[in-house]
Amino acid sequence: MFESMAIVGATGAVGRIILQLLEERDFPLSQVKLLASARSAGRTVTFRGEPCTIEELTPESFDDVDLAIGSTPDETARDFVPWALERNCVVVDESGYWRMDEKAVLVVPEVNGEVLARHQGLIASPNCSTTQMVVAMKPLHDFGRIRRVVVSTYQATSGAGLGGSRDLEAGTRAHLAGEEHRYEAFAHPIAFNVIPQIGSEKYKGYTSEEMKMVWETQKIFGDESIEICPTCVRVPVTNCHSESILVETEEKISVEKARELFEAMPGITVNDDLAAGKYPMPLSCENQDDVFIGRIREDISSPNGLAFWCVSDNLRKGAATNAVQIAELLVESQSGATA
């Protein structure tokens, strides 16, 4: 059984939400260790009503730790994951560093939770944009097999970390006051602007963020024949990523059938009434764990195409919630094995 847990990156935006979720969901553990960089060591946070001191991340941090959830930059995950695995600690990693590694299983519980049965100690959680898209794709793919996806993302500044959120607020204030703001997370102003680049140039003019959506989706579904054309855009929204998604399926799926499939899918909430002005928006989806879908309509340019709008809280289902759900599945599997 998993009795002790470490949260790596406990002081970050996602790390804070992981702690909140563990408390809200009454996650079963007897000991939690909070790890972060040396500059955060010594600070205290409250967990389950008790003060917890942040410890500096070192190889020895994982001695006697059964399970670790990490939300860190890639270079930190590159270093700490082997430390944990060497000490027989199971790792759920949020970074992008290990997702495509053959030793890692890449998991969204509602979509491919069954692959956890073959994990070798390392479980990766996908990119936030990938996560909400594959949850939306799952019921459609199971019913009519998706051949192609065209997706455009509208990604919130919180996806760039705490610096991104500071940039939006301070940059907006500065713009309104006619002043300059030195941006820390973005190469261009985000206030009153959109930036059609997230990540570095990666492949044939696509960015690293866009290629994550391609490669991770194919790995999650175990199907490299699914064709995906992504465009990732940063927008001046504090939290929650939105996506315009067009899928082409082998078997035609009507709007009515798609709505039925979405409504039956765990983790999806349908909000779709165009005439009444009802559809998912970031302000209405924040601090919630579901993937929200609306604007469901047939593609009038393709006989087997279906278009819809998808919104999800990128810090919760896109990151913290997915990791905690993975940990819960791990606990369930351990309980079943010992029953």
Active site residue 310: no
d(CA 293, CA 308): 7
d(CA 63, CA 22): 21
Q: What radius of gyration, in Å, describes the C-alpha atoms of the chain?
A: 20
Strand partners, 311: 242, 292
Token match 């936030």: residue? 128
Task: Look at residue 293 and give its three-state secondary structure.
Answer: strand
Residue 58: count other Cβ atoms within 10 Å of its Cβ: 13
Of the CA atoms within 13 Å of residue 194, those in its CB half-sphere come to 9
CA 117, 120, 121, 123 torsion: positive or negative? Answer: negative
Active site residue 229: no
Query: Catalytic one among 128, 232, 240, 310?
Result: 128
List the 122-124 sheet strands across, edge first: 55-56, 31-36, 4-8, 67-70, 90-93, 122-124, 105-106
Query: Catalytic one among 119, 141, 181, 241?
Result: 241
d(CA 70, CA 34): 10
Instruction: Give residue 25's identity as a one-letter amino acid code.
Output: R
Positions marked catalytic = 128, 241
